[in-house]
Structure 1
Amino acid sequence: MPETCVPTGVKLKDTGFGYTLSLIGGKYKMIIMYWLSENKVIRFNELQRCIGTISFKTLSLMLKELEADDLIIRTEFPQVPPKVEYSLSERGLSLIPILDMMCEWGEKNADLDLDTI
């Protein structure tokens, strides 16, 4: 019998699956990582425009969490006005194949689900 990501009797938060979800779960973190993977380096306002539906406060919080989890790099340039750029860290880049697989799965299965509605 194959091992599962969440064995019986083990709390989800105590598994690798739970850990991964704690880092990229939520409404915006995967979207932020997607835009960073597409653009390599992006500034705050540009990222906010790409996402479109995210508030300044929420984007700031998500970026701080992603930086604290070492998934993105925040680079601040000492100039006036301040310039800050965001990019994926090596650790963040290692998650992109997983996000790509989720995209592929969605492309393959979206038509099936739409047909049943």
Structure 2
Amino acid sequence: MEKDDIILGSIIYSMVDEGVFLSEEKGFVLKIPGLGIMDISKIEGLEKLTELKSLELCGNDFIEMKGLEKLVNLEYLDLSENKVSEITGLENLTNLKGLLLAGNKIKEIKGLENVSLYLF
């Protein structure tokens, strides 16, 4: 694990542990655009953000995404302009309406058969 992965993971876990994201209020948005300057290749801890409605991680250097399958309330996901080659866990995201994946290395997307989605 890279130093910057640990830093970002710690930020997310701290926010979750402090109740910033796990509040009674539903429908919060997490935006982490353009962290490419930090050379972060993966993000961890997303699985704890179960009430998340919008996740914007565009313009980073993420290679893998873990924990997406737990974000069952997610309506909008922007992973554009990363280095993701495979994306899994989408079959559980039945509320997903918007998905941006441009600028990645993805060759095949599985799990969208039961999702009503507007592709951008």
Q: TM-score, normalised by structure 2?
A: 0.27
Q: Which has the higher contact order (CA 8 A, sep 6+)?
A: 1
Structure with greater Cα Rg:
1
Higher helix share: 1
Q: TM-score, normalised by structure 1?
A: 0.27
